[in-house]
Amino acid sequence: MIGHDDTDRAPAQRVDPMPTIDPAAGLDPTLLNAARVAKGFMPDDEGLALAKAALEVASLGPLLEIGTYCGKSSLYLAGPAREAGTVVFTIDHHHGSEEMQAGWEHHDSSLIDEHTGRMDSSVEFRRTIADAGVSDVVIGIIGDSPKVARHWNTPLSLVFIDGAHSYEPALADYLGWSPHVVPGGYLVFHDVFEDPDLGGQGPWQVYCEAISSGVFSPVRTVGSMRILVRSDGPTR
Ligand code: SAH
Ligand code: MG
Q: How far is the CA of 24 from the centre of ligand 1 (A)?
A: 27
For the Cβ of 121 lying below 6 angstroms from any atom of ligand 1, the answer is: yes
**DSSP states of 121-147 as a string?**
-HHHHHHHHHHTT-TTTEEEEES-HHH
Beta carbons within 10 angstroms of residue 120's beta carbon: 19
For residue 170, the ligand closest to its alpha carbon is: 1
Residue nearest to atom 4 of ligand 1 (CA): 67
Closest CA to 34 of 24, 44, 46: 44
Pick the atom of ligand 1 nearest to 72's CA.
Answer: 7
Pick the atom of ligand 1 nearest to 39's CA.
Answer: 8
Q: CA-to-CA distance for 72 and 14, rounded, in angstroms?
A: 27
For the Cβ of 173 lying below 6 angstroms from any atom of ligand 1, the answer is: no
pTM of the model as a whole? 0.90
Map out the domains of the chain with their CATH numbers.
36-135+145-230 (3.40.50.150)
Using DSSP's 3-state secondary structure scheme, residue 217 falls into strand
Pick the atom of ligand 1 nearest to 173's CA.
Answer: 22
pLDDT in tens, 88-103: 999 999 999 988 998 9
- Binning pLDDT at 50, 70 and 90, where does residue 1 land? very low
pLDDT in tens, 179-233: 999 999 999 999 999 999 999 999 999 999 999 999 999 999 999 999 999 997 6
Beta carbons within 10 angstroms of residue 74's beta carbon: 32
Least confident of 23-32, 66-75, 151-160, 175-184: 23-32
Residue nearest to atom 14 of ligand 1 (CA): 96
